[in-house]
Amino acid sequence: PTLSLLYKLGRITPADDLEPAYPPNANYNDKISVIKRDITTLAIDSIVNAANTSLLGGGGVDGAIHAAAGPGLYDECEELNGCETGSAKITDGYELPAKKVIHAVGPVYWAKKGQGKPAELLAGCYRTSLELAVENQLKSIAFSALSTGVYGYPSKEASEVALETVRKFLEEGKGEDLERIVFCNFLQKDEDAYYKNVSKYFPPA
Ligand code: AR6
């Protein structure tokens, strides 16, 4: 369901302790979805993987995506020479129902030094993923809740970075060709964070 529908059905009600940071925009709310699902099941133009700098797989959603995509994905990832934290690279989807996989490398939240500010790096993941989707003429993109698993980013803070980065990208007029932007959560804590924070960045129109 789109955000517009979730508001209409009363499934999401604006949090009364949060002031909207942007004006309501029905066009944007029609593009946004918040769902709780296994991202490997989505038949969509692109899904965003929570990868690591090697891009060679791991646990969590990364492991699930590689398992569902099959060995072709690993072979293509091997050719990419890894990816920097805060950025992303794109591959085909192989056996997945999604056409493309965008592999984003989120920050380790508690990393001591050297990595940079977690919020800036996480925003870089969302922005680069959106840019890759547009460059590749993709109409839809579903994000996993980057960094909120093994990498320890608190769900509420992470959802604010994600929502704000998407809103800014749309404000800049860069997302006009994107028809659907999905926040695909797996755990209830992440779904709750989006339900709580979404009205700050995408208030009911
Ligand atoms: N569909 C959607 N979301 C999922 C799924 C799934 N099938 N499985 C887990 N999640 P994590 P990170 C959610 O730990 O924190 C890997 O080993 C999960 O609930 O997968 O960025 C990589 O190789 C959480 O909200 O990624 C890296 O080394 C979100 O996906 C490292 O973990 C991200 O959790 C990356 O850590």
Residue from 162, 155, 157, 152 nearest 201 by CA = 162
For the residues 46-74, what does the mean pLDDT come to?
98
- pLDDT score of 101 more than 90: yes
pLDDT of residue 178: 98
- pLDDT score of 113 more than 70: no
pLDDT of residue 111: 82
CA–CA separation, 153 vs 143, rounded Å? 15
For the residues 77-82, what does the mean pLDDT come to?
98
Structure tokens at 61: 């959603």
pLDDT of residue 112: 73
Pocket of ligand 1 (CB under 6 A): 38-40, 50-52, 58-62, 64, 106, 144-151, 184, 186-187, 190
Q: Which atom of ligand 1 is nearest to the CA of 148?
A: 15
Select from 103, 115, 144, 184 the residue to mutate for testing ligand 1; criterion: most ligand atoms less than 8 Å from CB: 144
- Sorting pLDDT into bands at 50, 70 and 90, what band is 114? low
CA–CA separation, 10 vs 8, rounded Å? 5
For the residues 160-183, what does the mean pLDDT come to?
98
Q: In the block, which residue shows the tokens 């508690």?
A: 110
Q: Is the pTM of this model over 0.90?
A: yes
Distance in Å, CA 68 to ligand 1 centroid: 14
